[in-house]
Structure 1
C-alpha cells in the first residue's frame, strides 16, 4: 500500500505512524468512495465492503491494493484499528450498535439517525461501551470555520452579537433521497447548527422556523420544505438567522457571518462564491462557482479522514463526537416542530436523554 502514497502528504515520523493503521470502510456510495480514496494512500491497509458486490469489485479495480470483504465479514473483523461507516442514514444506528463490539474507534457520517429517540439511544450505548465515535461534521476541519472560531475566541471581533449562516444547494437531490433524508433541517441545516455551536461556543436556547414546499410533491409528500428561514437565540442572547434552499441555481452557497462589537468575520467569501454583484465596478467573485459540497469541502474531508486516522492510531482526539450529533439534531427537531406548529420552540422542550437514562449530555467540542 505504501506505493499508493499521495505526494501531497508530508513524509516523516507522523506519516509512518499513520501507515501502521488498518481501516475498514463500510458503504461505497458517493461519499464512501470519496473517503476511501482519501484513506487508501494513508492507511497501511484499507478494507472495504458494501451490500452491492459489483460496486465493491468496481472500486477495488479502480483503487488497487484495497482488500474486499462482505459487510458481515467486515463487522466481525478482529484486525481493524478503526471503522468508517458511510452506509445509508437509516442503517447508521444499527451499524454503530453492532460495530461497538469491535472495541475500536468508529467514524460515522451524519446523522446517526433522522430520529431523535434513536440517536439518544445510540449515544447511551456509545457512552456505556466507551466507544470513541467521530461524527462526519467536516466543517470542524474547514480552514474558514476554524479561523472564525479562533478569531472569536481571541477577541478579534469583540463580543458576538449576530450570526447569519446558510447552506443552499444548487438543485434538489432525487425524490428517493429526499424521502429518507429526514427533511431540510436534519439533512442540510444540521451542518450549520453544528458549526454554530462549535464556532460560537454557545448553545441554542430557542428556535423559530418558517418554510415552504412551493407546492411541489417531492417536498409536500414528505412533510418537507424546499426553502426555509430560521431564527435562533443563543444562550448568551446573540441572535442567529439561518436559511437553506434546494434551488440556488447559481451554485452551491455555504457561508457564515459573525458580527461582533469590533468587527465581522465571514466564512465562504471566496472566488467561487455563486453570486453576482450588481455594482458597476465590481469584478468579484471571478472564479467558477462551487457546484456541490464535495468540491467545496474537499480539503476539509481530507483533513477529517487524517484526523480519524490519528484517532485510530491512538494519537488523536475527537473534535466532533456523539454529543455534538445529539445537540445538532435537537436543534433540527426544534426547527421542525416550530415550522409545523407556527411557534417558537425552547430547546428545553426537546429531549436530551433517552427515558431510561439519567446521564447528562455534554459537549465534546
Structure 2
C-alpha cells in the first residue's frame, strides 16, 4: 500500500514538491493546503491524486503518513512542532526558524520525540556533489586544504521576500554552509565574512548585502570559501570544489555553467546557461523527496537527509557570518552559541579585538 503525503504551502517550491511527490511510485495520495485558495485549486486541477484540507490542523489530522512543509519561513517552527506532536514524520524546507534561538528551541523540543524531522538541503542529493563527498570520505583526495562553494543568482528575489528573508547568509549562503560541512564531515569553528551593495538599495535599506564572501575555518584546519551574490547576469552558477593534498574535484562544472570562457582553444561550456535553481537541482529535489519517503516507509537504505541538529549548526554559521559583517571581525562559532544560550547579543559577550577593514 502506498503513502499519503501532506504538503503544506503551495507556492513556487511547494507546488514543485507536490508535483514531485505525486510522481513517486510509492505515493498514492496527496493532501494539500495553502493560505491562498487559488494555489490549492491549481494543484487540484494539475494532480488527480491530490485532495484539499481546509487548513494545517485538518491536514495533520487527516491520516497522512508524512508531511512536507513548504510554507512561509515564519510558520516553520510551529508546524514542525505540531507535526511531531501528531507523530508525523516531517520534511521542512530550510530554515527551521529565522533565529538561532528559535531554531535551537525547536530542536530541543522535538529531539527526543523519535519522530523523524528532516530539513530541506537538496544539494546533498545532487549526483556530482554526492560524488565529491564520496571522494573526500574515501581519502582519494588526501587531506583537504580548501573547499569552495559558490551560489550566484541571476537576479534578486522580489522586494517583499528580501525584507523577510533574514539576509543573504541566512537565506542563500546557508545552502553553501550545509554543503561544505556535509562534504567534509567537519565542524566550522570560525567565520570571517564581508559583503557589499551595488544593486537595488532595498538590500541596504533592510540591513542586508547583495554580494558576500565568507572564509570558514574548520576544526581540521581546512579552509572553506563561500561566494554568493544576487546579481550574476549570465545565469545561475552553483559549484562545489574540493582541493586536496593528492587530488582535486569539482561539481557543477557542466555545459550549462554560466561563464564565458576566454580560452582561445576551448569551446566549453557549449550549452545554454542555467537560469533557475529549481531547474539546476530538479534531480536533487526528486532524490531528496524519494529518500524521505523511503525513510517513512522504513526501507533500509542509507540517505544524506539533513537532520534538525545539522540545520541548527548551519544556522549558527549563518548567524556568525551575519555578525562578522556587522562587527567587522572574525567570529567564533562558540561565541554565537554562548551568546544565544545566555540570551544576549554577541557584541555584549565578546572579548576579541575588532579587526577593521578599509
Q: Would you say same fold, with TM above 0.5?
A: yes
Structure 2 SS opposite 1:351: helix
Higher mean C-alpha displacement, 283-292 vs 213-222: 213-222
User: Who is 1:146 aligned against?
Assistant: 130
What is the Cα deviation at residue 144 of structure 1? 1.0
* 2:94 alignment counterpart: 110
- Alpha-carbon deviation of 1:239? 1.2
Partner Cα separation in structure 2 for residue 192 and residue 198 of structure 1: 10
Contact 1:159 1:260 in 2 (8 A): yes
Number of residue pairs matched by the alignment: 338
- In 2, the alpha carbon distance for the partners of 1:101 and 1:150 equals 36
Equivalent position of 1:276 in the other structure: 260
TM-score, structure 2 as length reference: 0.91
Q: Does residue 1:219 correspond to 2:203, yes or no?
A: yes
Q: Quick one: structure 1 residues 168 and 200, their matched pair in 2 at CA, closer, same or farther if it must change by over 3 Å?
A: same
Counterpart of 2:12 (choices 30, 34, 49) is 30
- 8 Å Cα contact 2:288-2:305 kept in structure 1: no
Aligned residue for 2:337, secondary structure, equals: coil
Map 1:144-183 onto structure 2 (within 5 A): 144-183=128-167
The SS at the match of 1:128 is coil
Superposition deviation, residue 130 in structure 1: 2.7
TM-score w.r.t. the length of structure 1 is 0.89
Q: Deviations over 1:166-203 (max 9, x none)?
A: 10000000110111111110111100100111111111
**Contact 2:83/2:89 (CA < 8 Å) preserved in 1?**
no
Specify whether residues 41 and 279 from structure 1 end up closer, same or farther in structure 2 by C-alpha distance, changes over 3 A only: closer
The 4+ residue runs of structure 1 with deviation greater than 4 A are 352-356
Mean CA deviation greater in 249-258 or 72-81:
72-81
Instruction: Classify the secondary structure of the residue corresponding to 1:350.
Output: helix
Distance 2:338 2:109 in 1: 15
Q: Deviations over 1:44-82 (max 9, x none)?
A: 111111111121012101112311111244344151110
Q: 1:222-249, CA deviations, whole angstroms, 9 ceiling, x for partnerless residues?
A: 1100011111111111112111110000
Structure 1 residues without counterparts, runs of 5 or longer: 1-18, 357-365
**In 1, distance between residues paired with 2:331 and 2:51?**
49
1:135-157 CA-partner distances (Å, limit 9, x unpaired): 10001111111101101111211
Give the C-alpha shift of residue 353 in structure 1.
10
